A and B are shown apart, each in its own frame.
Chain A
Amino acid sequence: MGELKPTTTSILEPGQQSGFATTKFESLLAWAQKYSLFMNPFVTACCGMEFMAVSSPRYDFSRFGSEAPRFSPRQSDLLWVVGTIVQRQAPILKRIYEQMAEPKWVLAFGTCASSGGFYDNYACVAGLDKIIPCDVYVPGCPPRPEAVLDGLMLLQDKIQRGDRTPGIVKPRIDPVQEPNTALVQLRRSRSSAPPGIKL
């Protein structure tokens, strides 16, 4: 209930075992909404494997109230777009989004759903925000389950604040800030190639 604190006052009379609390209606409603995100998985590609990992017990996003999958868009609050959206699928995605009842949120799972990724070609849509509005982007190819959980918590935070501006999940370790990570070292070593080899 920590999120309710700024708008909540709890009153407990001296000598009493129970009391009451006051809060704002919007705050209470947002608190209820963010912990009951019925989801509609729109899974189109390989990120679906990572989606299964997040939903299964080890990472388990049902801890965040995002448990019940609803394969009917009319009963769902959160549209998970997991994977590449091709031009041929774009009308289907838009239709599913339009069938969802308000309030509704959209989460772009992975780089392809967020920006098209390396599918820079005739067939693919360069990110689902070309078609429908999106609330949270989780980049990664595929994203780590931790990144997805970060995205889910970011969405919950946005719901609580009533904020509909798009949010992007940042990596927990920023390679620019952490130049000693193995990945960055490997890439930097490649940029100093022997003469005659073009990078």
Chain B
Amino acid sequence: MSQALIELVKKNFPAAVLETHSQLGDETIVLAPESWQEVCRFLKENPQSDMNMLTDLTAVDFPSREPRFEVVAHFYSLTRGHRLRLKARVGDRDGETVELGTLTDLWGSANWLERECFDMMGVKFIGHPDLRRILLYPEFEGHPLRKDYPAEKIQPLLQYRDEPNIEKVAPFGVDEGMSFGRQTHKVGIYTDEDGDSGARRKVISPADN
């Protein structure tokens, strides 16, 4: 059904379409980033596509690729009932300049979706009216869903209390499922190997259990 959509975009923007993919009603077009806004405007305003709803907008990090990020947008037409996925590959290897045009003037929902994408992935949407963090706090440094953000790194707003860690898990054995112990974070006082043993975080690996 939506195969016609891909043909429509291909016909009108032959230079913008880098790649297409279509399987079981799941249509994807990979666009050149410079024609991102232009094609989206066309898809919204053309009566044949009539994409009046931006369902989701996010990004995927491929650290080994260049361009590194893939911004993904999902569109839905409430009048015609068809969907389309658009992708644009942006960003250099070190993730310093990751830029794409904004869609906020076309869909209102793009405002918060792009803010989230900026917050988590660090994609800068050129022309966005208010590109601030939306989920995390302004003091946060970096973008946590990037693959190079350390999995254990936390940035507390408050100084953690200097308290010995106590075991608060249910007495399950290793073979008895999730013990929900949280033993991986090392922050502040807990990383101090020479410090007071009482203040040091007790680190238990499953093998010790």
Please report A residues at the B interface, Cβ cutoff 8 Å: 87-88, 90-91, 94, 111, 114-118, 120-123, 125-127, 129-133, 137, 139-141, 166, 168, 170-171, 174-176, 183-184, 187-188, 191
Contacts and interface: CB of A to CB of B under 8 A. Distances in A.
Most buried by A among B157, B161, B173: B157
Given A87-B156, A122-B153, A131 B182 contact: no
Contacts of A111: 168-169, 180
The majority secondary structure among interface residues of chain B is: loop
B172 A176 contact: yes
Contacts of B178: 118
Contacts, number: 93
B161 A166 contact: no
The majority secondary structure among interface residues of chain A is: loop
A132 B158 CA distance: 11
Given A116-B182, A187-B175, A91 B157 contact: yes
A192 to B, nearest CB: 10
Given A120-B184, A122-B153, A127-B182, A137 B175 contact: no
Given A94-B158, A140-B170, A175-B171, A88 B182 contact: no
CB-based closest 3 A-B pairs: A122-B144, A130-B160, A116-B182
Contacts of A141: 180
Given A90-B156, A111-B169, 8 more contacts: A117-B180, A117-B182, A122-B153, A122-B154, A130-B163, A131-B158, A141-B180, A166-B166
Say which size band chain B's interface belongs to: 20 to 34
Most buried by B among A137, A166, A168: A168
A44 to B, nearest CB: 14
A126 B182 contact: yes
